[in-house]
Amino acid sequence: MDRLEQILQAHPGQRAEFTLERLSDLVHPRNREELVLALGQLVRKGRLKKLIRVVSPRTQGGIGDYASLDEVPRFTTDWRSGMQIEITPEDLRFIYVVPAENVAGRV
């Protein structure tokens, strides 16, 4: 938890985004489940926001962000390639966002 707090405090007044994989690389948790539980606590406290990003299967760039899996459509237009795609689990990334208003030392 302390290492996660250091990451949050490294971005005072700035919005920052991290994938679970990147946070795991930065924090080096004993196990991934422990990291996921700690991230869940930070989301509940409002220190982090979690979103689901749909990425283009062709370019791997983001093409849409959603607050929950229920909001993710089955089909969407990949504006990066101009094609209509069916969204699959491989096209989804869980992103943890440090909101811009999350300043250092604020809990």
CB 55 within 8 A of CB 62: yes
> What is the C-alpha to C-alpha distance for residues 21 and 34, in angstroms, rounded to an integer?
13
Tokens read off for 4: 């996660």
Domain, as residue range, for 81: 2-98
pLDDT value for 101 = 65
Q: Which tens digit of pLDDT belongs to each residue from 86-99? A: 999 999 999 999 88
| Domain count along the chain | 1
For residue 22, tell me if it sits in a domain: yes
What is the phi/psi pair of residue 55, to 5°? -110, 150
For residue 104, tell me if it sits in a domain: no
**3-class secondary structure, 43:** helix
pTM of the shown model: 0.78
For residue 30, tell me if it sits in a domain: yes
The sign of the torsion formed by the CA atoms of 30, 45, 102, 72 equals: positive
For residue 86, tell me if it sits in a domain: yes
For residue 60, tell me if it sits in a domain: yes
For residue 103, tell me if it sits in a domain: no
- Please, what is the average pLDDT of the chain? 87
Q: Which tens digit of pLDDT belongs to each residue from 74-89? A: 999 998 888 999 999 9
